[in-house]
Amino acid sequence: MGEQSKTKSKTTDTVHSPLLTYFSMISLLTLCPPFVILLWYTMTHAHGSVLNTFTYLNNNGLQGFINIWPKPSATACKIIAVYAAFEAALQLLLPGNTVHGPISPAGNRPVYKANGVAAYLLTLLTYLALWWFGIFNPTIVYDHLGEIYSALIFGSFVFCIFLYIKGHLAPSSTDSGSSGNIIIDFYWGMELYPRIGKHFDIKVFTNCRFGMMSWAVLALTYCIKQYEENGKVADSMLVSTTLMLVYVTKFFIWEAGYWNTMDIAHDRAGFYICWGCLVWVPSVYTSPGMYLVNHPVTLGTQLVLFILVAGILCIYINYDCDRQRQEFRRTNGKCLVWGRAPSKIEATYTTSTGETKRSLLLTSGWWGLARHFHYVPEILSAFFWTVPALFHHFLPYFYVIFLTILLFDRAKRDDDRCRSKYGKYWKLYCDKVPYRIIPGVY
Ligand code: NDP
């Protein structure tokens, strides 16, 4: 970390009200792990039908549920350990440009090595080569998926305890501190930029190199599984996988930009973000592909092309929203937005160490349509890689619904945070751009 200030920042405020924080934490802790297992079970053993799983649970009760919860087997642990070690090695060893993150609330400026694209390409090439040369068959991953999720659920929980202890005993920077409440510290995290040594950034690992990378790896796994089972890949699987891979490729091309977003620059490394990236992303985010493995629908060329073009367009617009904001900030407003000089608000704010800083808010382009318009194409992209599943079952759409709730909540959280950061300048932005997400509607 660069430019560290001397005082420790405290997390005295919760993002939501304390009641909601406790409620969401207890819900996440107790409901998410069984949900991940039930999702996997329903997709792989109950034909994707929630009704089938419900009937099974109704007939067999708690013992029936315990029976379907796979043990974290040695094979599963080995797969996770090799994958995690491989990704950690790539993160540390591959060359990359030095990139500076945004100035933190305590006035620090984290330094990163931007080698995400190389790590992404090398991961996918290695995985495909292992399969092609008969060294490792990805269907093993699919066949042990339940055990892998089970191991991830427990392993990630232990990892979050490690983060909590590290945050207390050996924080990596002054962007850390306790709220004085053990539950909030565990849930929201203690450190903004935890590192092992000087260079190994834990959030880059959990969010990008483990979580997002696993999405692409599992999307390929589902495709290969269907190919090995049926001797061909259905066009529904092909279009869904292609869109997911385009999305994850976009993510890694833009990874340094991601280091400027809420996940990295504002949310501390705790259960909420790290458990989510280590368990929820590999399971829930990849679930449309998991469903398609055993449901090879043929869509036909016209429909496939329509879904493909619409999905890529949404992914591109989402990318362009992020790019526009970051280009505007990087050039200090000296760029063109939709072919014109940008309209902007010059805002000031005070860091937790009392320094006054200046920042710019873009009020034209995508950011003039609504304050979080970029969530619209994000949600639509997810819809387009899910719709190849057609409408026989509800469960493949769980991710789209979850994402919609997550992003509407996130927009509110971000608005609240920006309001308290920028005060009257944020109010000015809200007056100029009154809609939060959907222009003219919300
Ligand atoms: P960002 O962090 O990119 O954008 C919000 C931040 O940008 C604000 O906190 C503020 O930070 C700054 N900002 C807000 N308004 C303006 C403006 N008008 N001009 C300049 N800066 C502004 O948002 P997200 O992290 O939510 O999203 C990043 C990407 O990740 C998006 O593409 C989103 O769709 C995607 N995403 C995907 C999720 C998924 O699960 N699939 C979940 C969440 C996000 P500052 O303090 O710097 O002013």
The model carries a pTM of 0.91
pLDDT of 210: 98
Alpha-helical regions (H) of 46-110: 50-68, 74-93
C-alpha closest to that of 25 among 192, 153, 183 = 183
Strand partners, 109: 2
pLDDT of 107: 83
Determine the distance separating the centroid of ligand 1 and the alpha carbon of 156, expressed in angstroms: 26
Q: Which atom in ligand 1 lies closest to the alpha carbon of residue 375?
A: 34
Phi, psi of 98 (to 5 degrees): -80, 130
CB of 1 within 8 A of CB of 110? yes
Which protein residues are within 6 Å of ligand 1, measured from CB? 102, 261-263, 318, 322, 325, 359, 361-362, 367, 374-375, 378, 403, 410, 414, 418, 421
Amino acid in the structure at residue 266: H
Alpha-helical regions (H) of 331-423: 366-369, 375-386, 398-422
CA distance 123 to 212: 12
C-alpha closest to that of 404 among 383, 433, 419 = 383
Spell out the per-residue pLDDT of the chain, length 442, in tens: 433 333 334 444 555 677 777 887 888 888 999 999 999 999 999 999 999 999 999 999 999 999 999 999 999 999 999 999 999 999 999 999 999 998 888 888 999 999 999 999 999 999 999 999 999 999 999 999 999 999 999 999 999 999 999 999 999 999 899 988 888 899 889 999 999 998 999 999 999 999 999 999 999 999 999 999 999 999 999 999 999 999 999 999 999 999 988 889 888 999 989 999 999 999 999 999 999 999 999 999 999 999 999 999 999 999 999 999 999 999 999 999 999 999 999 999 987 778 888 999 999 999 999 999 999 999 999 999 999 999 999 999 999 999 999 999 999 989 998 999 999 999 999 999 999 999 988 9
Determine the distance separating the centroid of ligand 1 and the alpha carbon of 52, expressed in angstroms: 39
Determine the distance separating the centroid of ligand 1 and the alpha carbon of 58, expressed in angstroms: 42
Residue ID of nearest Cα to ligand 1 atom 45 = 418
Determine the distance separating the centroid of ligand 1 and the alpha carbon of 54, expressed in angstroms: 38
pLDDT of 106: 82
Residue ID of nearest Cα to ligand 1 atom 33 = 375
CA distance 429 to 168: 38
Length of the chain, in residues = 442
CA distance 273 to 415: 19
pLDDT of 14: 53
| Burial degree of 440 (CB within 10 A; 0-12, 13-18, 19+) | exposed
